[in-house]
Structure 1
């Protein structure tokens, strides 16, 4: 049925129901890996929609799945799609705050995603610094 909807087009991939949940929230919550991958492949998919009740993203939902293999797969897919690990829910918790302490795989995935996001932000900042008109900064004219 999902493939038929995708073929027909003209739908809102980020549609939120009355609770603010999107199809991505439901795919993550139910461990529907095929559905999740189709949703994430859609160009207009927002990987970080926040629902109304808990202010939770699909990543918040995914890290709470019981099955460790399923949890790992869905969290990894969301992170590869660019899920923001710093979004806080209504209680001020990030997705990482819900990860069981013994789940080193998920904790490592989230730490790597945070590090990559940090590097990306640092790269953007350093590009701005280069535009300050200081030239190449080699100082070769003074030699």
Structure 2
């Protein structure tokens, strides 16, 4: 059975999900370049987006295309497991593929602090996998996100500071 037959008559959003499940870059491109309106963050009844499916199935080719789309939410949470695509990517059995998918998600800004229904963060899951390379990636991302938050000036930082010059009109 061909992919075209399987998705014939499907909405653009349904075809996005199918492309992610099948790692079908051509189908993904057809939807993106097509006439129909689509939502890159569309979720099915389980709360699974194309990014969830691509991450959980190791669809490395499609995941890069999904992440390059404007408005792509890198941290959507599904309904049953309350998992993000990063949580799901960490369940991939192939160590190299898992590393590639996790790296792509982290580069796109995935949050390693979100807890799933088991109260586990991607960082705690990575720590349990006995994969030093993956754990290093996660810790690097954690350090980077801490630095990024510290670099953002709080609006209240200048209030009450002596000599700031903010009281002159």
Same fold, TM-score > 0.5, yes or no: yes
Deviation at 1:105, TM superposition (A): 1.0
Q: TM-score, normalised by structure 2?
A: 0.75
Partner in structure 2 of residue 111 of structure 1 = 139
Shift in CA distance, 91/6, structure 1 to aligned 2, threshold 3 Å: same
Q: Kindly indicate whether structure 1 or structure 2 has the higher relative contact order, using CA contacts under 8 Å at least 6 residues apart.
A: 1
Q: Secondary structure at the match of 1:86?
A: coil
Partner in structure 2 of residue 7 of structure 1 = 33
Shift in CA distance, 131/5, structure 1 to aligned 2, threshold 3 Å: farther
Report the more deviating stretch, 79-88 or 97-106: 97-106
CA contact (8 A) 1:63 1:96 kept: no
Shift in CA distance, 18/69, structure 1 to aligned 2, threshold 3 Å: same
Partner in structure 2 of residue 141 of structure 1 = none
1:18-44 CA-partner distances (Å, limit 9, x unpaired): 000100000011111111000000011
Partner in structure 1 of residue 97 of structure 2 = 70
* Counterparts of residues 24-43 of structure 1 (less than 5 Å): 24-43=51-70
Partner in structure 2 of residue 82 of structure 1 = 109
Task: Provide the alpha-carbon RMSD of the alignment.
Answer: 1.9
Q: TM-score, normalised by structure 1?
A: 0.87
